[in-house]
């Protein structure tokens, strides 16, 4: 399995652009998968430079309905004429962030794409294919990111706190290994792992994704003690973690002190051979 980071907040090379967003290309023995599209068409530009032909992608997954994970959807539909896009129906709900002065800014997806025939709307547990499963509906309350408190949904007659019904996670099983991919882990990465274990009876070998430990609007990280507790919980799973994007570099460094070799950071240009 080969995983290439097409777009992330940081970059390994001056020749590859970076942005606040995430996009991964995953090549398994049976599939070429695009996991999220970043905030713009940057992922497509980087894909060309990294030798990734987006027209050959078999399927795409959008982890949740925020622009930094689905902002490049239109560019992907233009680059690829066949792949279905798997996402939650709620991903096209009107999502907002509350900024200073109670200003509400739209951070959702392009609503004009909701009726595209290639969109596949997924239930709480959705089997794509042998070895590929999506799940959502994570209910735990441990270590919920405090940054969630400024994320809203417009229900027409007002704004309410986002409960992240639009968030889903991808499981890939191949050659005796189980990989879990989470976009931003708004439900809390520890809760996602608890949910995984309850439903699968085991834990993944590898976890990749953002853990939302840094609030990009307020420029504040989670409390150090909370990050340390999360690190200990992740370490107990015995899995290997690759994090990025909304985890934040300072929180990652704290996790690293707790987890050591069990966690690494991936940037634009990273290539993992798993």
pLDDT, tens digit, 9 for 90 and up, residues 188-227: 999 999 999 999 999 999 999 999 999 887 789 999 999 9
Mean pLDDT of 24-40: 98
CB atoms within 10 A of CB 131: 17
Query: 69 CB contacts (<8 Å, ≥6 apart)?
Result: 21, 22, 23, 36, 37, 38, 39, 62, 63, 183, 184
**pLDDT over 90 percentage in the chain:** 95
Tell me the pLDDT band of 100, cut-offs 50, 70 and 90. Answer: confident
Decide: pTM greater than 0.95.
yes
- Chain-centroid distance, C-alpha 129: 20
Query: Is the separation of the CB atoms in 193 and 152 below 8 Å?
Result: no
Q: Domains (ranges, CATH) in the chain? A: 2-266 (3.60.15.10)
């Amino acid at each position: 399995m080969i995983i290439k980071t097409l777009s992330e907040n940081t970059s390994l090379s001056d020749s590859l652009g970076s942005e606040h967003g995430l996009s991964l290309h995953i090549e398994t023995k049976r599939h070429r998968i695009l996991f999220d599209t970043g905030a713009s068409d940057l992922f497509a530009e980087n894909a060309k430079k990294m030798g990734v032909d987006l027209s050959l992608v078999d399927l795409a997954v959008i982890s949740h309905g925020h622009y930094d994970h689905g902002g490049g959807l239109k560019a992907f539909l233009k680059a690829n004429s066949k792949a279905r896009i798997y996402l939650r129906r709620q991903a096209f709900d009107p999502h907002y962030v509350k900024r200073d002065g109670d200003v509400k800014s739209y951070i959702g997806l392009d609503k004009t794409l909701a009726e595209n025939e290639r969109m596949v709307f997924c239930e709480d547990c959705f089997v794509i294919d042998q070895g590929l499963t999506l799940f959502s509906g994570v209910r735990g309350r441990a270590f919920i990111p405090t940054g969630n408190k400024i994320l809203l949904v417009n229900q027409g007659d007002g704004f309410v706190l986002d409960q992240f019904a639009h968030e889903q996670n991808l499981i890939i099983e191949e050659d005796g290994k189980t990989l879990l991919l989470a976009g931003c882990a708004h439900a809390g990465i520890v809760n996602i792992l608890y949910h995984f274990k309850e439903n699968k009876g085991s834990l993944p070998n590898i976890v990749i994704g953002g853990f939302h430990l840094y609030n990009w609007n307020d420029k504040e990280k989670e409390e150090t003690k909370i990050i340390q507790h999360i690190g200990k919980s992740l370490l107990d799973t015995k899995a290997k973690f690759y994090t990025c994007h909304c985890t934040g570099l300072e929180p990652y460094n704290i996790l690293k002190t707790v987890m050591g070799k069990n966690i690494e950071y991936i940037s634009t240009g990273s290539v993992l051979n798993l």
